[in-house]
Amino acid sequence: MTSLLPNYVAGRWVAGTGPATPLVDPVTGETLVSVSSGGLDLPAAFDHARTTGGGALRALGYAQRAAKLGEIVKLLQANRDRYYEISLANSGTTRNDSAVDIDGGIFTLSYYAKLGASLGDSHALRDGDLASLSKDQSFGVQHVLVPTRGVALFINAFNFPSWGLWEKAAPALLSGVPVIVKPATATAWLTHRMVADIVEAGILPEGAISIVCGSSAGLLDPIGPFDVVSFTGSAQTAATLRRHAAFVERGARLNVEADSLNSAILCADAAPGTEAFDMFVSEVVREITVKSGQKCTAIRRAFVPASHLDAAVAAITAKLSKVVVGNPRNDSVRMGSLVSREQLAHVRDGIAALGEEAELVFNGATLPLVDADAAIAACIAPHLFVMRNPDEALRLHDVEVFGPVATLAPYTVRDDVLPETHAVELARRGQGSLVASIYANDSTHLARVALELADTHGRVHALSPSVRQTQTGHGNVMPMSLHGGPGRAGGGEELGGLRALGFYHRRAAIQGSAETLGALVDAGVQASSPS
């Protein structure tokens, strides 16, 4: 009988009641552990986090909370090998793909630990400069940011059980806000293990971190007006969440990162044989294969000048044909499995949908799987489509296949101010995306294209040969940069340095005399605005 992972709420470990959901190895089909959230007293859990956890965190200054993050970093680093084992077993990822999740999460924590240390032991942040409200300058206003006196609930996705937790929890805990994490059930084991290690080490005050594994039923009911909720998942689920009384009636904050049809654009000057063309090909292949394409930031649509389409197809398919797919326990394997057979079915459905209007030019189904039974494993090899009439396409700009699948499409190079105008128009058909990447040999030209994409993308990754060795990758989310996107992508914002703290703070305008406003520093407000 497999072990049942308990939930950690209200300062204690509590086993869920009722039917448990098994977590399986997506390559072998073996049941690993099980989870259940049945029978939990959620209102009590949320109240304990707000009062006990929140009170203890707010009693610490920013630098003191940052030091706690630093302690967590050391603990997680010490247990990395164990986390890699869990990731391999429960997510079916290669070691390199596990690193994106595990080491990426640890790096993000480390970044916020260092950033928080620069804020000193203040308890609030100055927001902008003092402004006078009177002619004689005797009466003025100072905007401040103070931690919300609520709880931060994270409803996370299955693809990043480590990074998905820490990219949210790091700025929340640094802000002085307790967190309750609900990891996606399929891959909850890694999140659970990390939280358990932190609880066992006693690094954080009681109530500062909680975890609920299993069903999310009733999870939003205890949300109050000063709580915040961060959701990563499908746009359909996000739409359901937005209608909940917690947000419609009680006014709680909701941050959403949802579906995203991200683009890559090969600029007009990046002809085959140039460095920019080679960078484009390498990045498209990497984004198809890393994490088996299970990244919200992965390239789904790649636009190239019509005259370069055949060359791009040939170069990308040549690289994809060398990708070894199967059991990541085999050293020859470079791409592991999807997280579950259920996800495999969704990917296959998406491939079929795209195939109704696009041409399949690389069919990964013809490649053999290494040390994996196709009838049991959730493995699928890369697929590449070509849509020759992108202006007439519907599914290309609407269907996100969350797996190793991408579509190439030609655009018309126009003889006007911006030759890539057509490609930008096609990218915008995604109705809002997390990221677009652009490739050109002319570095200065990239700035003009980037600004044209900025209104519909949260991040624009502009690459020329000068940064070939230093660029961080189209799909790699760095804590210094904004992560989020408008429209279809959810309209939310995460990370971006100290900008991430804004979601967990409340802004207030304090009006008073020059003496009163000057005394805010002594009362715990940071003297200078955070950058």
Structure tokens of 63? Answer: 């630098």
Read off the amino acid at residue 515.
E
Three-class HEC string of 302-347: EEEEHHHHHHHHHHHHHHHCCCCEECCCCCCCCECCCCCHHHHHHH
Task: Write the DSSP string, 184-253.
Answer: -GGGHHHHHHHHHHHHHHT-SPTTSEEE--S--TTTTTT--TT-EEEEES-HHHHHHHHTSHHHHTS--E
3-state secondary structure at position 71: helix
Distance, in Å, from the CA atom of 339 to the CA atom of 86, rounded to the nearest integer, reads: 13
Phi, psi of 252 (to 5 degrees): -65, 155
CA-to-CA separations, 25 to 86, 89, 188, 295, 328, in angstroms, rounded: 10, 5, 12, 19, 11
3-state secondary structure at position 299: strand
3-state secondary structure at position 136: coil
Q: Count Cβ atoms below 10 Å from residue 476 Cβ, excluding itself.
A: 17
Per-residue b or e along 140-177, where b marks 16 or more CB atoms closer than 10 Å to that residue's CB: bebbbbbbbbbbbbbbbbbbbbbbbbbbbbbbbbbbbb
3-state secondary structure at position 303: strand
DSSP-derived secondary structure letter, 151: -
CA-to-CA separations, 482 to 267, 283, 338, 458, 485, in angstroms, rounded: 24, 20, 27, 7, 9
Task: Show the DSSP H helices in 367-502 as ranges.
Answer: 421-428, 443-453
**Residue that is written with structure tokens 């070894």 in the block:** 324
Distance of CA 181 to the CA centre of its chain: 14
Catalytic residues: 257, 296
Distance, in Å, from the CA atom of 434 to the CA atom of 218, rounded to the nearest integer, reads: 30
Nearest CA among 463, 456, 411 for reference residue 437: 463
Element of type H or E holding 312: helix 309-320
